[in-house]
Amino acid sequence: MTGLRTMLNPKVTAVVGVSTSNPFNPGNVIFRKLAFENALPTYPINPKGGTVEGIDVYKSITEAPDDIELVVISVPAHFVPGVLTECGEKGIRSVIVVSGGFSEVGEAGASLQEEIVEIANKYHISMVGPNCIGVFVPDVLDTFFLPSERVARPRKGNVVIISQSGGWLIERLEEFSARDVGIAAAISIGNAAQTKVTDFIEHFGNEKSVDVILAYIEGFVPGEGREFVKACKQIVPNKPVIVLKGGESEAGHRATQSHTSSLAGDHAITNAAFNQCGVIHALDEDEVMAYAKVFSFKPKYMLGSRVGTLTVSGGHGVIASDEASQYGITMPFFNNEQQALMREAMTPAYQGIASFRNPCDLTGSAADIDYERVLDIMLEFETIDAALLLLLPYAPGISLQIGARVANVAKRHNKTVIAYVPNLKKYEVIIRGFELNGIAVGDTIEEAVQMMNGILIRSKYLQRTGKI
């Protein structure tokens, strides 16, 4: 849809539904963000006229200047058709309807929703919503009606988030910000009356600045699921699409009806369809974060499920083995020759106490150089497809530079490397050392294994379809 590009990067905006008496009105919050935080020329609209924040209020879209590229509508539902018609007659092609009171409330609302879709289609308007919180593009655009001081804003990056739930989207922004994962855009589609998740999949699939597409979907209207799968099949060879699907249980199905009026689907059917088209089906929010983060680093592929693990704690190795087995990831024992090669690379004083069966326990005596040398040798083995580093910085020989040092070893090999480092502020230098050099870091052992699983799922699909 041609209007999406303008919607995501408008030069002039308008907000219909500001109040001249209530500064906390949703329309006023949106207006202040666009006009002052995004520094966009923005026209406030209210039939009563007056002023808002010292700026003259226009009584209608019709009376406002002709250079508007995006309109955000925040008025009671029954006024939306009239406002949308004015937008169409004025030649505006991008509209976000944050108003609720449509199909999610029953038959009367559904009829009203059909009406605004007809109007949008008639005037070739790209309309997001209704019943949504809108669009956030770092450094460009923020139409969320939530005060900025109450919602975290991730830095600019390469992940796009598309969600039918505004609340779920806000929580992801909080998490992405806390984990320093950058986003290219966050889209709340609400009822997705006209512009669907598929439209955004197609749009961002062709954007070079986007490397990962993440979507939360509660369901599809009849026929939409097939279009979604078709679109994803075209996109996934070039970039991963991750989906968390709500409403797959009976209780969840009922909940979606009262939220966005979507038709939910059976988990097994959904999983089979996603697997066929290469979509990575996240089963919970932990997997969502793990998959989105690891692919934001554009990791190397895995040609198999065999992983070599390095740790300074035997217990952590055991936990990682248990987690890996749940995902079908194996940690094959290294043979005597392989063990001898790695043992010889260790600092002589510690060679006798380290274990190299896999997981390899370098013990708490290990230093940076031991991790570097052993990893360098291990990544040469044809019996493994990836490496998992369980890095516990408590060991006295481990320095704050180990992340960068080990990451530079990984760069010399064409295999996936994932690290686990406790997410504590005192270890931030280590984490950044890995991440600035292209190695994703999990907050927990489970997350690090999930990251590995996401890469494996994608690699298997690309192998199956002859893409790698």
Tens digit of pLDDT at every position of the chain (468 positions): 679 999 999 999 999 999 999 999 999 999 999 999 999 999 999 999 999 999 999 999 999 999 999 999 999 999 999 999 999 999 999 999 999 999 999 998 999 999 999 999 999 999 999 999 999 999 999 999 998 888 899 999 999 999 999 999 999 999 999 999 999 999 999 999 999 999 999 999 999 999 999 999 998 888 898 999 999 999 999 999 999 998 654 544 444 444 444 444 567 888 888 999 999 999 999 999 999 999 999 999 999 999 999 999 999 999 999 999 999 999 999 999 999 999 999 999 999 999 999 999 999 999 999 999 999 999 999 999 999 999 988 889 999 999 999 999 999 999 999 999 999 999 999 999 999 999 999 999 999 999 999 999 999 999 999 999
Q: How far apart are CA 71 and CA 146, in angstroms?
A: 18
Q: Are residues 105 and 222 in the same domain?
A: no
Of the candidates 79, 80, 98, the one whose C-alpha atom is nearest the C-alpha of residue 29 is 98
User: Residue 252: its pLDDT value, please?
Assistant: 44
Q: Are residues 211 and 93 in the same domain?
A: no
Apex 19 CA angle, 17 and 24, nearest 5: 105
User: Residue 263: its pLDDT value, please?
Assistant: 45
**Helix pair 80-89, 107-122: axis angle to 10 deg:** 0
| β 280-282/241-245 pair status | parallel
Would you call the peptide bond into 359 cis, given omega within 30 degrees of 0 as the criterion?
yes
Q: Is the distance from CB of 45 to CB of 28 less than 8 angstroms?
A: no
User: Does 136 map to a domain?
Assistant: no
HSE on the CB side for 421, CA within 13 Å? 28
Q: How far apart are CA 109 and CA 77, in angstroms?
A: 8
Q: Are residues 98 and 183 in the same domain?
A: no
User: Residue 1: its pLDDT value, please?
Assistant: 65
Q: Are residues 312 and 433 in the same domain?
A: yes
Domain boundary among 249, 264, 296: 296
Q: Is the distance from CB of 70 to CB of 10 less than 8 angstroms?
A: yes
Residue 118's domain is classified under what CATH number?
3.40.50.720
Instruction: Write out the two tokens for 365.
Output: 């005596």
pTM of the model: 0.93
Strand order across the beta sheet in which 280-282 lies:
141-142, 134-137, 183-188, 156-163, 212-217, 241-245, 280-282
User: Does 144 map to a domain?
Assistant: no
User: Residue 193: its pLDDT value, please?
Assistant: 96
Domain boundary among 239, 264, 296: 296
Q: Are residues 292 and 356 in the same domain?
A: no
Q: How far apart are CA 139 and CA 391, in angstroms?
A: 35
User: Does 137 map to a domain?
Assistant: no
User: Does 279 map to a domain?
Assistant: yes
User: Does 394 map to a domain?
Assistant: yes
Q: Are residues 263 and 327 in the same domain?
A: no
Domain boundary among 263, 296, 329: 296
Q: Are residues 25 and 52 in the same domain?
A: yes
> Which phi and psi (to 5°) does residue 142 adopt?
-145, 105
Q: Are residues 264 and 158 in the same domain?
A: yes
User: Residue 256: its pLDDT value, please?
Assistant: 46
CB atoms closer than 10 angstroms to residue 257: 17
Instruction: Write out the two tokens for 57.
Output: 């209020």
User: Residue 248: its pLDDT value, please?
Assistant: 56
Q: Are residues 265 and 316 in the same domain?
A: no
Q: Are residues 430 and 320 in the same domain?
A: yes
- The CA dihedral of 103, 109, 113, 115, to the nearest 10 degrees, is 150
Q: Is the distance from CB of 425 to CB of 394 less than 8 angstroms?
A: no
What residues make up the domain containing 206?
152-296
Q: Is the distance from CB of 154 to CB of 205 less than 8 angstroms?
A: no
Of the candidates 368, 388, 369, 390, the one whose C-alpha atom is nearest the C-alpha of residue 378 is 388
User: Residue 267: its pLDDT value, please?
Assistant: 74
**Number of domains the chain contains:** 3
Task: Give the H/E segment covering residue 56.
Answer: strand 55-56
DSSP string, 264-332: ---HHHHHHHHHHHT-EEE-SHHHHHHHHHHHHT-PPP-SSSBEEEEES-HHHHHHHHHHHHHTT-B-P
Burial of 435 (0-12, 13-18, 19+ CB in 10 A): buried
User: Does 206 map to a domain?
Assistant: yes
